[in-house]
Structure formats: structure tokens, C-alpha cells
Structure 1
Amino acid sequence: MSTPATQLVELRTRDADRTQQEILAAAMTEFSERGLGGARIDSIAERAGVNKRLIYYYFGAKDDLFLAVLEQTYADIRSAEQALHLETANPVEAVRSLVAFTWSHYLEHPEFLTLLNSENLHRARHLKQSQRIREMNSPLIQTLGDVLERGRRDGVFRGGVDAVQLYISIAALAYFYLSNNHTLSTIFGRDLMSPKALSERLSHITEVVMGYVLRD
């Protein structure tokens, strides 16, 4: 049975965790809308409904907060990918589901794309400081590699497919289309964000990826 002192500590811990999550959510919106250079701690504090001193207390400087937001976005996508259970799925269905998931996640979380755009402008100098990012991404690549090997042993996938290269291709086929939809729609005179166009794009990405990994 917990004591009053223990209950107070637990309450303060929950409050601190909730406050940090509110700050991260506000910062994610601010950074995705204004980029790292345009984002302001005052605006983040206002969005989160907290005193800006709390932001410095929990996260440090603006660059540190930006890294925390990047880590959170990667943690979110990696956590959601685990629900696919790629490690036990049929290899063909595993790759198809990873393609569909990646497309849907990017579509539903445009802030992820804008945050990546901002970090690329800074040559990934924040991500380079993060051991957590590498630790989060390694299991996905290992799992995808295992899926590809299972498919090769089953005779459905060709050999020699690099898991990192394949994942980059899956991400790129979704990322480029969505991050450049305004210019591409204008250039080609088509609404590339219409429901029909989005459905066609997912089908195209899936067929391109499966056409690469499947044996002739």
C-alpha cells in the first residue's frame, strides 16, 4: 500500500510527464509550421499553456527541443509499425503491409514530412547527436531483412535485396509524392491529393516495390 508521500511523488511524476507531452505536441506543431529557424519558444509555451521556463527546464535550448520532437516522431512511427507484426506475417503480405502503412502514416502525419524537410536543411545535425534514433531504426531494418530472407527461402523473393535500400525506396516513393504535391499538381495539371489519385498512388507504389522483390 502506497504512502501519502509516495502518492504525491507519483502525482507529480504524472503531471511532469503530461506537461512534457503537451510541450512536445505544441513544439511539433510550431516546428512543422515555421521550421526550426522560424519557431519561437514563446509561441510554443503559449500553444502548450505553460511558462516558457518549464520548456527550458525539461528540454533545454530550442535545438534540444527540436531534437526531442524529431525523436518523438520517429518513436511514433516505429511504435505503430510494431502493430504490423512483420516478423510473423507471410513475407509477401509483410512487404505489402509495410508499403501501405508507410504511405498512410505519411499521409496522416504531414508534420513528419515537414520536420524531416527542416532537419535536412540543417544536414541532420540534430539527428547525428541522437543515439536513440539509431536504436529505434535498427530493429525495423533487422525485421525487414528477416522478412526478405524468409521470402527468399520460400522461393517468392529474389535474393540480394538490401533491407536499407528497400526501405529507403518505400519511404521515398511516398515521401516525394506528398512533400511535392503542390508543385507536381501544378506542373501536371492534376489534383494529386484527390481520393482517386491517392488510391492510384498507393497501388503504383505497391506494384513497383513488389515487382522489385518478387522472383520472375
Structure 2
Amino acid sequence: MTDMRSPRRKAPPSQDQASPDKAPPRRRNPVETRRALLDASIAEFAENGLAGARVDAIARRAGVNKQLVYHYYGSKDELFTASLEEVYRHIRTQERELELHALEPVAAMERLVGFSFDYLAEHPEFITLLNDENRMRSAHLKDSRELVDMHSPLVEVIATILERGVQQGVFNERFGPVNLYISIASLSYFFFSNNSTLSAIFNRDMSTPAEVARRRQHVIDLVLHALCSNYQPTG
């Protein structure tokens, strides 16, 4: 005789037995999301500039939904401003860790100039973002109070080094901290921002380790010889 009993039904899986294919999505930490978006946007803007960068591409790089970009940053322009603030924040943080106050004036200035050169060598994205912002006549920098405030501590550090050097008789009094900062930055910046054209003009690869090391020492020597007539490297 045919068994008319209803087939036994399987009990629903408990939470501990839930299929891995249907695991609940992990909730993103807002701090992690912002960090991922900043990293992704810096990379995207460095490669394509503000005009060529795409919000979809930034979201894809960050591994988030496109709507989260607008949720956290409002617009592509606001994200570009945040990216500029972030690259400046990073270099200022690194500068504070140099502990220049603990060094004698000549050694402190050597370390600062060498660091400024090395940072640009290691962070080409800093140069490309700044080049893009300069083409836009600092439209984003002008609206960022944070970026303006970031430079004040560095100028104060340079002023203190200069003052100590003058008091000790190793530096002359011809240079103010702002102009000295501009000179230090530009001597290194031009070499990296124009490396390709310099290589073509002088018919040699200016990006080789030997050329980079030669330029680095030249920049240090140039700044320190301008500050003190009897400069002798401390390293």
C-alpha cells in the first residue's frame, strides 16, 4: 500500500548553520570607508586629473557603492579638496616626525632639505595633484582653511632653525623663512615635475638613481651654501 504520509520537512538552518553564500554583509566602518575613498580618489586624480577622474572609478577602487562617495563628500570637487588636504596633511605629519628641534641648525636644515627632496621622489601623486590645482588657479585651496593652517607650523620651524643658526654664527641673516621654504620646495619640485622634459632636453635619463642622488646632493649643497659661507656637510 502506498505510504500517504507527508514528506518530512527539513528544519530551517540555525544562524550557526547558515549557508556561507548567504552570510550577512559586513557593515562598513565610516572611518575605514572615508580612508578607502581618500586613497582611491588620490590615485584616480593623480592618474586622470580632476577633469578626467570619474566618481564611478573612485567608488570601484574603494570597493564601495557610488552613492557613498556623495554621502561622505558631496561632490567630485569636494572630494578633490579633501584629497589635496590629505596629501598635504601627510607631508606635514612626516615633517613633524623629523624632530628638527633636537638637531644643530646645519644638521636640521640638511635633514629638512633632504626630506623635502625624498618625499617628492617617493610620492609622485603629490606633484600631479598640485600641478592640476595650479592649472585651476588654486580654486580648491582657496576654500580650505585647513590647508592654509598646515603651513604655519612649518614656517615657524624654519624660522626657529634660522634664528638659532644666526645666534650661533653659522647662518647669515639674508633669508626669511617663507622665501627659504619656497626655495627648498621649488628646487626639488621642478626636478620631478619636469623630469621627462629635462631628460629630453639634456638627452639623458634624469630619473636614474644616479641622477636623482646627484640632484639631491646638489639641492642640499645649494641651500646650505647660501645660508652659511663655510658649509661642511655633517653626514
Shorter chain as normaliser: what TM range? over 0.9
Deviation at 1:160, TM superposition (A): 3.2
Structure 2: distance between partners of 1:80 and 1:177: 21
Point out the structure with the larger helix share: 1
Moved over 4 A (4+): none
SS of residue matched to 1:123: coil
SS of residue matched to 1:192: coil
* Residue aligning to 1:3: none
Structure 2 residue aligned with 1:85, among 81, 86, 99? Answer: 99
TM-score normalised per structure 2: 0.85
Q: Is the 8 A contact 1:113 1:175 kept in 2?
A: yes
SS of residue matched to 1:124: coil
Structure 2: distance between partners of 1:137 and 1:79: 11
Structure 2: distance between partners of 1:58 and 1:46: 15
How far does the alpha carbon of each residue in 1:139-186 deviate from its partner, in whole angstroms, 9 at most, with x for none? Answer: 000011010000000000001311111111111111101111111101
Structure 2 residue aligned with 1:214, among 215, 222, 228? Answer: 228
* Residue aligning to 1:47: 61
Q: How many residue pairs get matched?
A: 205
SS of residue matched to 1:160: coil
Structure 1: distance between partners of 2:163 and 2:102: 13
* Residue aligning to 2:136: 122
* Residue aligning to 1:95: 109
Q: For 1:1-216, list aligned pairs within 5 A.
A: 15-215=29-229
Structure 1: distance between partners of 2:195 and 2:214: 14
Q: Note the residue ranges of structure 1 that are not aligned, 5 or more in a row.
A: 1-11
How far does the alpha carbon of each residue in 1:103-151 deviate from its partner, in whole angstroms, 9 at most, with x for none? Answer: 1100000000000000000000100001101111100000110100000
Deviation at 1:87, TM superposition (A): 2.1
Structure 2: distance between partners of 1:89 and 1:59: 41
TM-score normalised per structure 1: 0.92
Structure 1: distance between partners of 2:211 and 2:94: 25
Structure 1: distance between partners of 2:103 and 2:143: 34
Structure 2: distance between partners of 1:43 and 1:196: 37
Task: State the one-letter code of the partner of 1:139.
Answer: P
Structure 2: distance between partners of 1:88 and 1:131: 30
RMSD: 1.3
Structure 2: distance between partners of 1:209 and 1:123: 28
Task: State the one-letter code of the partner of 2:204.
Answer: R
* Residue aligning to 1:5: none
Q: Note the residue ranges of structure 2 that are not aligned, 5 or more in a row.
A: 1-26, 231-235
Task: State the one-letter code of the partner of 1:178.
Answer: F
